[in-house]
Amino acid sequence: MSATVCKTAAPPHAILIWADERSIYAQLPSQNGPYVAAFLRSEGGLSTALHTLGAMHAEHSGQPYLRPQCLPRDLLAKGLTLSALDQARDLLKKRGVI
């Protein structure tokens, strides 16, 4: 009989959740590293957390969550866009800076 021991019994799409005195936290997977969402520690906060996690699982079936990109207000005031930043990043990669 050959048996192996798993590090965890949780399925691959399981999400780590913890709480402190004020908030409920959920560590959501994403391609940019883990994203921690905070919810109020109340019935409403727990309901919102469960709704969010259920919607994420139903919509993505355990796939990584991509946080929408947004620019800081000071960059928006200067007229920069996400496409301009993407072009700048591509140019820096092409020249070997990053």
pLDDT digit string, tens, across residues 80-92: 888 888 899 899 9
**CB distance 65 to 37 below 8 Å:** no
Q: Would you place residue 70 in the very low, low, confident or very high pLDDT band (cuts 50, 70, 90)?
A: confident
Q: Would you place residue 69 in the very low, low, confident or very high pLDDT band (cuts 50, 70, 90)?
A: confident
Q: What pLDDT does 13 receive?
A: 72
**Does the pLDDT of residue 96 top 70, yes or no?**
yes
**CB distance 7 to 17 below 8 Å:** no
Please report, for residues 31, 82, 84, the alpha-carbon distance to residue 88 in angstroms, rounded to integers and kept in the order given.
21, 10, 6
Quick one: residue 96, left, alpha or beta (phi over 0 = left, psi -120 to 50 = alpha)? left
**CB distance 26 to 39 below 8 Å:** yes
State the burial class of residue 81 (Cβ atoms within 10 Å of its Cβ: 0-12, 13-18, 19+). Answer: exposed
pTM recorded for the entire structure: 0.51
pLDDT digit string, tens, across residues 14-46: 788 999 999 999 988 777 778 899 999 999 999
